[in-house]
Amino acid sequence: MTMMCKPTKGITELEDILRLDAGVTINELLRSPLLAREARAVAEGLALDLEAGVVTGDETVESLLQKDVLCSCCGQEKPCLKEGGSLCPAMQGENSRHSVLGGKRVGHISCMSACPIGVDIPGIMQLMREGSLLEARRTLMKYLPMAQTVCLVCGRCGSNCVRRGEGSGVAAHQVIHWLGETISSHPEIFFIQPSGDSGKWIAMERPTIAGLSAAYYLRRMGNHVVFFGSAAPEELLAPYGHPVADAMAEPLGRYLDNLRYMGVLFEDVTMEEAAGKYSFHQILCLELPGEKNMDSLLREITLGVEEARKMNLSYGLKSFLEPGSDFCTFDRYGITLPPEDWTNTPEDGGEQRALKEASRCLNCSCQGVSASSAAATLLMLETAIQTDKRTIRAQDYFAQIQPWKQFQQGERLISLEVPMSGDFLSGCLGQGEITLCYAFFLSGGRILDLRLIFGGVAPVPVRLAKGERLLKRKETAALDPAGEAAELMKLLKPEISLMSRNDCKLEVMEQLLKKSLERLTGGEE
């Protein structure tokens, strides 16, 4: 890039960015007319942080990357999640200053860590609470298409729920089992023939649990899978012991039928006898050696998923297994409900019980709020974080709680490269710990582009992407700041996860949105 002027006190104007050196202080930044002109939102965010005591004037710009969440539960006698505890203390007692948009996962979640398959149990529970049952089922399929077969017998997730300390852990295995039942009974939705054809043919020497697990993911990506030999559920499960076989034979039979429905072939002949009928790219027998028991069966399922993923990628196909979100909400009222009685089978087939049990999930996550207004502005402006080893995007960096842990050993900050925003109407508004960063690009009386980022309402800054789409291309003269702010809050409603006594934060958020739009329309500066 071409330098436009000489650097002053660690602030350098380049062609379209401001480079803030790691050692420049907050006071030096606030005294800079260049920062105030070309990155007004950052200057206002720094002023808010200084006023709130989040930073001191002598701290350097590097300190903006090291601010922890604002939370009264940190450093108390009982360790919080970030300190190695099993539950965010904010879920109990006074929590008026905590998140209104859910929590962020920290470390290992008890139920998910206990799951031998690694199913995103908290994410699935959240989708159920949001009423997205179809998406919950689709998410489960990414991890375990044979959930009805194994979850009830395994039960480890329910046994490791943090609420067991209260004497009433969430029966997550029952909920996932019910989802598995509904998946198994609707192959026309969940076991459909693939829309594409990879042209790859894969032979399985004989049916195994690992092979059957892999078959779904291989076929889902358009491969052709053929098993040779008998596939009777009782025979497949017999080596794992009678208790396992008795409990799993019937649902495994349904899973086999569903694989056939999606086009997986089962030939009750040897491969030699079928020679000439097929031309295979790979011949496999997926199976782990050693003793057969419930533990080894679960490991076989994991082996099948991993091998299918590797094969799909080797064929140039995407992996069907995609990571879920690590942002978690909970049901404010549902968590106070007693556990469900799973000993009886109601006429509704279990949906009411499953939804109620999912509402009891605390969705173990940090419920603090992002503390730094300036950090939110750096995110809004899509700042590049330059170290002596690499470039980190602000979007990636500030998406994590304790983001500084992303730095490698010995890695050090060189500078922040902040895109100039002088052509935008931008700023940073604050009330209490809540921050709204905004930037509007106008042309011909219309909003051509914009960014809206809230800080202090969740453990990380939150972008209002839906709200931006609502306002984009609107005429500024026709805007009603109060009405538009109310509409923006309505768009947030599905994501709101209130704790006791923090409802007032929603009012503050709406007021800040209104104020930003008043600045836009000239009603207030």
Task: Tell me the pLDDT tens digit for each residue of 112-159.
Answer: 999 999 999 999 999 999 889 999 999 999 999 999 999 999 999 999
In a domain, 161, yes or no: yes
Measure Cα distances from 181 to 158, 176, 184, 440, 474 in Å: 18, 9, 5, 49, 47
- Residues 204, 218, single domain; the answer is yes
> Strand, coil or helix: what is 73?
coil
Asked if residue 304 belongs to a domain, the reply is yes
Range of 299's domain? Answer: 192-314
Which tokens go with 153? 């017998």
Residues 170 and 255 in one domain: no
Please give the DSSP secondary-structure letter assigned to residue 416: E
Helix extents (H) in 417-464: none
Same domain, 251 and 307: yes
- Choose between 388 and 335: higher pLDDT: 388
Quick one: pLDDT at residue 525?
47
Residue 139 and residue 121 in contact, taking contact as beta carbons nearer than 8 Å: no
Report d(CA 385, CA 406) in Å as an integer.
12
Strands 224-228 and 201-204 turn out to be: parallel
Residue 439 tokens, joined: 């930037």
334 and 274: one domain? Answer: no
- C-alpha–C-alpha distance, residues 520 and 513, integer Å: 11
What is the three-class DSSP state of 417? strand
Q: What is the spatial distance between Cα 493 and Cα 138, in angstroms, rounded to a whole number?
A: 24
Is 80 exceeded by the pLDDT of residue 322?
no
Judge whether residue 250 has pLDDT over 70: yes
pLDDT bracket for residue 346 (50, 70, 90): low
Give the lowest-confidence range in 6-10, 49-53, 133-137, 360-364: 6-10
H or E element in which residue 26 lies: helix 26-30
- SS3 labels along 86-109: CCCHHHCCCCCCCCCECEECCCCC
Return the minimum-mean-pLDDT range out of 193-207, 331-345, 378-392, 459-473: 331-345
What are the distances in angstroms from CA 518 to CA 130, 376, 491?
Answer: 33, 21, 20
Residue 294 lies in a domain: yes
- Chain-wide mean pLDDT for the chain? 90
Residue 56 lies in a domain: no
CB 317 within 8 A of CB 221: yes
Q: CA torsion 66→70→73→75, rounded to 10°?
A: 30
CB 150 within 8 A of CB 252: no
d(CA 264, CA 218): 9
Predicted confidence band at 360 (pLDDT cuts at 50, 70, 90)? very high
Are residues 157 and 267 both part of a single domain?
A: no
With cut-offs at 50, 70 and 90, classify the pLDDT of residue 5.
very low
- pLDDT tens per residue, range 255-281: 999 999 999 999 988 888 887 888 999
Token look-up 């939705």 returns 189
**Does residue 377 fall inside a structural domain?**
no
Sign of CA dihedral 440, 443, 447, 448: negative
Say whether both 236 and 158 belong to one domain: no
| Residue 302, domain member (yes or no) | yes
Please tell me whether residues 182 and 330 are part of one structural domain: yes
Residue 349 pLDDT level (bands cut at 50, 70, 90): low
Which residue has tokens 């006698």? 77
Counts for the chain of helices (H) and strands (E), in that order:
20, 15
The Cβ of residue 450 has, within 10 Å, a number of other Cβ atoms equal to 22
Residues 165 and 217 grouped into a single domain: no
The DSSP call for residue 132 is -
Residue identified by tokens 């052509």 is 423
Looking at the structure, tell me whether residues 215 and 286 fall in a common domain: yes
Of all helices (H) and strands (E), which one includes residue 515?
helix 504-521
Residues in contact with 78: Cβ distance below 8 Å, sequence separation at least 6, in sequence order: 85, 89
What end-to-end distance do the CA atoms of the chain give, in Å?
34
Examine the domain organization and report whether 176 and 284 are in the same domain.
Answer: no
* 214 shares its domain with 307: yes
Task: Let me know if residue 524 belongs to a domain.
Answer: no
State the residue for tokens 């009782």. Answer: 234
Q: CA 486 → CA 95, 433, 467, 489, 523, distances in Å?
A: 25, 21, 11, 5, 17
Q: What is the pLDDT of residues 6-21, one digit of tens each?
A: 445 689 999 899 999 9
Looking up tokens 């000993």 gives 343
Determine contact, residues 191/261, Cβ cutoff 8 Å: yes
Is 49 inside any structural domain? no
Sign of CA dihedral 142, 143, 147, 152: negative
* pLDDT on residue 76: 78
Instruction: Let me know: does 412 contact 506? Beta carbons within 8 Å.
Output: no
Instruction: Kindly state the tokens that stand for 473.
Output: 């291309």
Residue 300 Cα to chain centre, angstroms? 27
Contact 377, 67 (CB under 8 A): no
Categorize the per-residue pLDDT at 324 as very low, low, confident or very high, splitting at 50, 70 and 90: low
Mean pLDDT check: name the lowest of 170-179, 208-217, 414-423, 493-502. 493-502
Max intra-chain CA distance, the chain: 84
28 C-beta neighbours (distance < 10 Å), count:
20
CATH code of residue 244: 3.40.50.720
198 and 247 co-located in one domain = yes
- Measured distance CA(400)–CA(403) in Å, rounded: 5
Query: Whole-angstrom Cα distance, residue 160 to residue 164?
Result: 7
Model pLDDT, residue 4? 43
Q: Among residues of the chain, what percentage have pLDDT more than 90?
A: 71
- Reduced to 3 states, what is the DSSP secondary structure of residue 226? strand
CB 416 within 8 A of CB 383: yes
Model confidence at 100, in pLDDT bands (50, 70, 90)?
very high
Q: What is the residue whose two structure tokens read 């805007």?
A: 479
Greater model confidence, 349 or 42? 42
Reported in sequence order, the residue ranges of 221-372 that DSSP labels E, i.e. its strands, are 224-228, 265-267, 282-284, 327-328
Residue 361 has pLDDT above 50, yes or no: yes
Q: Which residues contact 464 (CB under 8 A, 6 or more apart)?
A: 452, 453, 454, 488, 491, 492
Residue 296: burial class (beta carbons within 10 Å; 0-12, 13-18, 19+): middle
Domain count across the chain: 2
pTM greater than 0.85: no
